[in-house]
Structure 1
Amino acid sequence: MEPGFIDVHAHFVTDAYVARARAAGHERPDGVPGWPTWSATAHLELMDAAGIAVSVLSMSSPGVHFGDDPAARTLAREVNEDGAAVVRDHPGRFGMFASLPLPDVDGALSEITHAFDVLGADGVVLETNTHGVYLGDERLAPVWAELDRREAVVFLHPTSPVCWERSALGRPRPMVEFIFDTARTVTDLLFAGTLRRHPGVKVIVPHCGGALPVLADRINGFMRLFMPPGTEAPDALAELRGLYYDTAGPAFPRQIPALLALAEPDRLLFGTDYCWTPSPAALAAAGAFDAAEPPVPGATWRSLTTANARTLLPRLTASEGGHT
């Protein structure tokens, strides 16, 4: 019997969170027409229809920091408590990546402790930038050190760059800007040496790696060109192959082949992007994976990505239906 998918790229929203975001000016979040609605009941219906055993919930863009550190700490704690309650109320069906109030480092460190030690989070979600602070910024070093100490799973999620008013050309930012902001923050992590200094952190890059598969050789070449004299250039391609990649978005027919030219099959994870991706599209994504030729003989995309997720997130036990 085929295992259920483990969806590592799944979102939730609450009425209280949406109200806070709207009050901060996010009436049309990242330029999309409006906010989605979410309930555990509707999410479970989608999961059952798509053959998804477990969904790992996280907050999407615009995150929890709207410009005020104390308010961001409060909101991060609130959404993490809400997510943990969903996990408790539906045993075996949900996991959670906790939100952090970056770029507030002290607040983030406090929330890491609460998320892992009290709520039992499966990892954390980090937006690609917060108010222009990208993830390789040296100010965030204490956060990466603590995540490394815990050997944490870090799920990256794109958000709008600070230059979106000009670069997005009036279009919704998830279409193009998200893809390049993912590449921008991972490139920042590579150049800053963050990934090399913290090998215990297990990073998930969303949306088939964004633009990274087609930019990887270019990034690697530039890193070799611009290293300080006398310094050995790191192998950016090897570092990129060491990351995990979820497949949310239009993975077929072009993005998956590009990603497989960079990453090994054991680094790929299934994702739907529900609830920001509507149910019909999420169902179509699951169907596309079931219909596609897998890259490993004797496996299916379903069995492959589920086995990878269980290795990365051992508390999510597909054979038992979920979170233990």
Structure 2
Amino acid sequence: MASAARVDVHEHVLPPAYRRLLVERGLDAGGWALPEWDKDSAIAMMDTQGIATGVVSVSAPGVHLGDDREARTLARSVNEYVAELVKDRPDRFGQFASIPLPDVDGSVAEAVHALDELRADGVVLMSNAGGRYLGDPAFEPLWAELNARAAVVFVHPTEAPAPTLPGVPAPVIDFPFDTTRTAVQLTLNGVMSRYPDVKVILSHAGGFLPYVAHRVAVASTIVNPELTVDGILADLRRFYFDTALSGSPTALPSLLAFAAPGHVLYGSDWPFAPVAAGAYFDGHLDGYQDWQPGQLRAVQRGNAEALFPRLARD
């Protein structure tokens, strides 16, 4: 293992009351079964995988299950639970606070509470909220509030507003697609350029984004000649990317060729990705032959320290 001090920006938490609610309603993560979770198991996994700190987040389906009032209550409950987890073990846990989009007013209020009062390390947004992607003009007030706080935003995929392939759960192929879709909309709708102080992390190496970025840029200028290839690529390179389920011999070269320096972060996707799956990708990550000097340590920890200064070590 190349590092015994990883910062994991893609680690999940399932507060007991939240998990019970999902089970009662027959909900899961896009056809992916809900795993068990508890603090001791999380710490044991991190010790096994060389992870010093996990910045945890709720995964799909998020906290908005159809009703705005319920979503506000559920977001507050989840966020206060995780804030206590971090308060108890600030060395081992960080927090991406849950936000109840598409309820914009509720989302702004919860973001302010989580960042200002709970001192969350950032917020997590699902890639779409009821079929509306994150570049939707209605979500501008939230982006303005996040930008004012120079917030770190973790974008996690959820089910796309389209049928899944028969027998293929959404996390297998639709999740990377949905991440790519929302990232492109954020860019082409100008969110990334209007709010330069927000740092946006895309799950799973950005889905397909590094691979198709130049196609997106060139094709978009054909549709809209007022755009420029260089301008689109510059905005796309503002994103950060985690390595969850993506540290492979074919994905890494594309990701590292596209991402801006310092914009690749370690991710495990535990417990939705079991330890064996994480170890598979960690092995390829550690064994990659083309790292530049210091680059692997930066991915494992240093780049996260720049985003989360409280985690920095001397």
Q: TM-score range by the shorter chain?
A: over 0.9
Per-residue displacement from partner, 1:142-171 (whole Å, max 9, x unpaired)?
A: 0000001111000000011111x2x42331
Task: Report the Cα offset of residue 316 of structure 1.
Answer: 1.5
Task: Verify the 8 A CA contact 1:157 1:206 in the aligned structure 2.
Answer: yes
The match for 1:90 is 89
Alignment root-mean-square deviation, CA: 1.7
Task: Verify the 8 A CA contact 1:54 1:318 in the aligned structure 2.
Answer: no
Indicate which of 263, 267, 272 corresponds to 1:267: 263
Inter-partner Cα distance in structure 1 for 2:59 and 2:261: 26
Q: Which amino acid aligns with 1:98?
A: A
Task: Report the Cα offset of residue 233 of structure 1.
Answer: 3.2
Q: How does 1:163-174 map to 2 (within 5 A)?
A: 163=162, 165=163, 167-174=164-171
The match for 2:131 is 132
Per-residue displacement from partner, 1:127-152 (whole Å, max 9, x unpaired)?
A: 00011011010100000000011110
Normalising to structure 2: TM-score of the pair?
A: 0.94
Between 1 and 2, higher relative CO (CA 8 Å, sep ≥ 6) is seen in 1
The match for 2:180 is 183
The match for 1:105 is 104
The match for 1:201 is 198
The match for 1:313 is 308
Q: Which amino acid aligns with 1:58?
A: S
Task: Verify the 8 A CA contact 2:3 2:50 in the aligned structure 1.
Answer: no
Give 3-state SS (helix, strand or coil) of 2:97's partner: strand
Q: Which amino acid aligns with 1:29?
A: A
Task: Report the Cα offset of residue 241 of structure 1.
Answer: 1.5
Task: Report the Cα offset of residue 72 of structure 1.
Answer: 0.2
Q: How does 1:228-247 map to 2 (within 5 A)?
A: 231-233=226-228, 235-247=231-243
Inter-partner Cα distance in structure 1 for 2:196 and 2:248: 31
Per-residue displacement from partner, 1:281-319 (whole Å, max 9, x unpaired)?
A: 22343343333235222x252344311110111122245
Task: Verify the 8 A CA contact 2:11 2:268 in the aligned structure 1.
Answer: yes
The match for 1:322 is none
Task: Verify the 8 A CA contact 2:10 2:57 in the aligned structure 1.
Answer: yes
Deviates more, 1:142-151 or 1:81-90: 81-90
Give 3-state SS (helix, strand or coil) of 2:262's partner: helix
Give 3-state SS (helix, strand or coil) of 1:30's partner: coil
Q: How many residues align?
A: 312
CA 1:300/1:180 → structure 2, altered by over 3 Å: closer, same or farther? Answer: same
The match for 2:254 is 258
Deviates more, 1:131-140 or 1:208-217: 208-217
Task: Report the Cα offset of residue 75 of structure 1.
Answer: 0.4
CA 1:66/1:304 → structure 2, altered by over 3 Å: closer, same or farther? Answer: closer
The match for 1:249 is 245
Task: Verify the 8 A CA contact 1:84 1:96 in the aligned structure 2.
Answer: yes
Task: Verify the 8 A CA contact 1:182 1:209 in the aligned structure 2.
Answer: yes
Q: Which amino acid aligns with 2:249?
A: P
The match for 1:150 is 149
Task: Verify the 8 A CA contact 1:38 1:275 in the aligned structure 2.
Answer: yes
The match for 1:31 is 31
Does residue 1:12 correspond to 2:23, yes or no? no
Give 3-state SS (helix, strand or coil) of 2:272's partner: coil
Inter-partner Cα distance in structure 2 for 1:116 and 1:128: 20
Deviates more, 1:192-201 or 1:261-270: 261-270
Task: Report the Cα offset of residue 3 of structure 1.
Answer: 5.6
CA 1:2/1:213 → structure 2, altered by over 3 Å: closer, same or farther? Answer: closer
CA 1:220/1:318 → structure 2, altered by over 3 Å: closer, same or farther? Answer: same
Give 3-state SS (helix, strand or coil) of 2:220's partner: helix
Give 3-state SS (helix, strand or coil) of 1:155's partner: strand
Task: Report the Cα offset of residue 91 of structure 1.
Answer: 2.9
Deviates more, 1:301-310 or 1:244-253: 301-310
- Runs of 5+ unmatched residues, structure 1: 320-324
Inter-partner Cα distance in structure 2 for 1:148 and 1:187: 19
Does residue 1:281 correspond to 2:277, yes or no? yes
Task: Verify the 8 A CA contact 2:5 2:300 in the aligned structure 1.
Answer: no
The match for 2:215 is 218
Inter-partner Cα distance in structure 2 for 1:200 and 1:135: 17
Task: Verify the 8 A CA contact 1:205 1:243 in the aligned structure 2.
Answer: yes
Inter-partner Cα distance in structure 1 for 2:277 and 2:297: 17
The match for 1:141 is 140
